[in-house]
A and B are shown apart, each in its own frame.
Chain A
Amino acid sequence: MQSLPLSSSAFDTGRTAEAHVVAERAGGRTILRRQHVGYPLHVTRGFYLDAARPDVLTLYIQSASGGLYAGDRLTLDVDVGTEAALHLTTQAATVVHHGRGGRSMQQLRIRVGPRAFCAISSDPYVLFPGANLALDATAVVGEDAVLLLVDGLAVHDPRCSGHGFAEYVTQQRVMRPDGRLLLLDRGRLAGGQLRNGALGTMAAAASALLVAPRDKLPGILSLTQAADECGCLAGVSEAPNQAGLVVRMLAPDGGVLTRGIEAVFQVAARAALGVEAARRRK
């Protein structure tokens, strides 16, 4: 007869946390109107880093617990009001630990109001052996608003165990306020398939969706070159339904990919905001 484990010795089933951030324009700049952020998420105070565009609010979001663990279910809700300008980024890459047969989930819900600017450019998720991560982002973007949404993955095996991550699943859905689907990027990759052609010979990859009216889009060549100059191999194309541009980037490691993501943000922000964005210190 097998005895049941004591409740105190059972595996942690993961944490459920929600964060809600509301940015609005008031008094000539973007302010953090409301925030509700549950552990392990933490949002820093707001920074105004761009002298030429002092209205742009920059927030750093971080995990206070050292990354994503098995069974974590984190939800981030971002609301950017009319004519507000928000850049939400991370201070470092997010480590995703072994899934222990479960999955870590990160959900992102974004609303970008009329003539607003919203950039969410996270550093890559670093997938440790056994990591099982699902990202699910849904954005509703006004016709004349700008959204840059970037996520990516890199792999790391700190103990050289020879084991890959379990699975990486991503879904990004962008719609108009009337419910019209603009673009849908859905895919999955098992760790064992990493070197089997999906990423070529690379070990890190990122996607960037840039939804914007035509006059606020950068050139395809400038985006490609900016990422390439960082050591990435980038491909840029017009998105479906005249939504804007899509970018895929491949890199040999997470460090190079992080620099590529920063470069894409710089080029996109320059086109959308009309000024050179200051470097985000990390």
Chain B
Amino acid sequence: MLSTLRAMWQADGAFPSGSFAFSYGLEGAIALREGMQQAEFAQLMHAIIRHRWATFDRIALVRAFRAGADVATIAGIDREVEASTLFSALRRGSRRNGASFLATHARLGNESAVSLRDAVRRGECLGHIAVMQGAVWSTVGLDEELVQLTSGYAAVSGLITAAIRLGAIGVLQGQTILRDCLPLIQQFVVQPVAIDVEMESFLPFLDVASARHEQADLRLFAN
């Protein structure tokens, strides 16, 4: 029961992990598709879960979780995430979030977070959020399934919060979309992550949106 409570603690939007500023390029997407309807937004959320979170972030997360305290292996996963995150706004946002996440856990006394924060400072690790979450969450009593559920929920919840703040959807619309995303997260989490599975992501629309957003003069979110 305690592990479930810890998962809720980590997925809670009130936990100061910096995730509130991460939107996967959503702000750019909303700007590109002005007047986006709720159904279209829900479709985009499903696409993010299916084509980014499940096949990329989740794989990095699980591989880092399995690496545990092996900093060299974590650094290798981190470099692969860096090379595979082609768009700079997403790269920077992911690293910035990872740094905030490590800082919070380090201040809470988590030794793994302290060690990884030092590795980032030395340039040995880059600190991408999914990798850092996997590594640190392996030390707070979550199992592999809970780690994925926490990551999936936090990602979707963060996106919904971002969309509400941007005025793209209302609070109740957001909760409807969030509720409808939960079975999709579960659908992926019940599929075991094979040892040799590769990270992959195919979301050209969000890539374009993120790049154009990066060039925009005024933006609310980090990416």
What is the interface of chain A, defined by CB distance below 8 A to chain B?
170-171, 181-189, 193, 196-202, 205, 207, 220-221, 224, 233-241, 246, 248-250
Contacts and interface: CB of A to CB of B under 8 A. Distances in A.
Interface in B1-38: 29, 32-33
B83 A240 contact: yes
Given A186-B84, A197-B46, A237 B203 contact: no
Nearest to A232: B208
Contacts of B211: 224, 234-237, 248
Contacts of A234: 208, 211
Interface of B: 29, 32-33, 40, 43-48, 50-51, 55, 79-80, 82-89, 91, 198-205, 207-212, 214-215
Looking at chain A's contact residues, the main secondary structure is: strand
A6 B171 CA distance: 64
Nearest to A168: B202
Contact of B208 (A185, A197, A240, A248): A248
B32 A233 contact: yes
A7 to B, nearest CB: 36
B83 A196 contact: no
Contacts of B33: 200-201
B83 A235 contact: no
Interface secondary structure of B, over-half rule: helix
Contacts of A235: 87, 207-212
Nearest to B207: A248
Given A187-B200, A205-B204, A234-B211, 19 more contacts: A182-B83, A185-B86, A186-B198, A186-B200, A188-B202, A189-B51, A198-B47, A198-B51, A198-B205, A199-B205, A201-B33, A234-B208, A235-B87, A237-B210, A238-B88, A240-B83, A248-B204, A248-B208, A250-B204
**A170, A182, A184, A201 — which one has the most chain B CB atoms within 10 A of its CB?**
A184
B199 A181 contact: no
Nearest to A174: B83
Contacts of A201: 33
Contacts of B46: 196-197
A202 B40 CA distance: 14
Contacts of B200: 171, 186-188
Contacts of A220: 215
A224 B201 CA distance: 22
B47 A197 contact: yes
A261 to B, nearest CB: 14
Contacts of B86: 183, 185, 237, 239-240, 246
A240 B85 contact: yes
A200 B28 CA distance: 12
A200 B201 contact: no
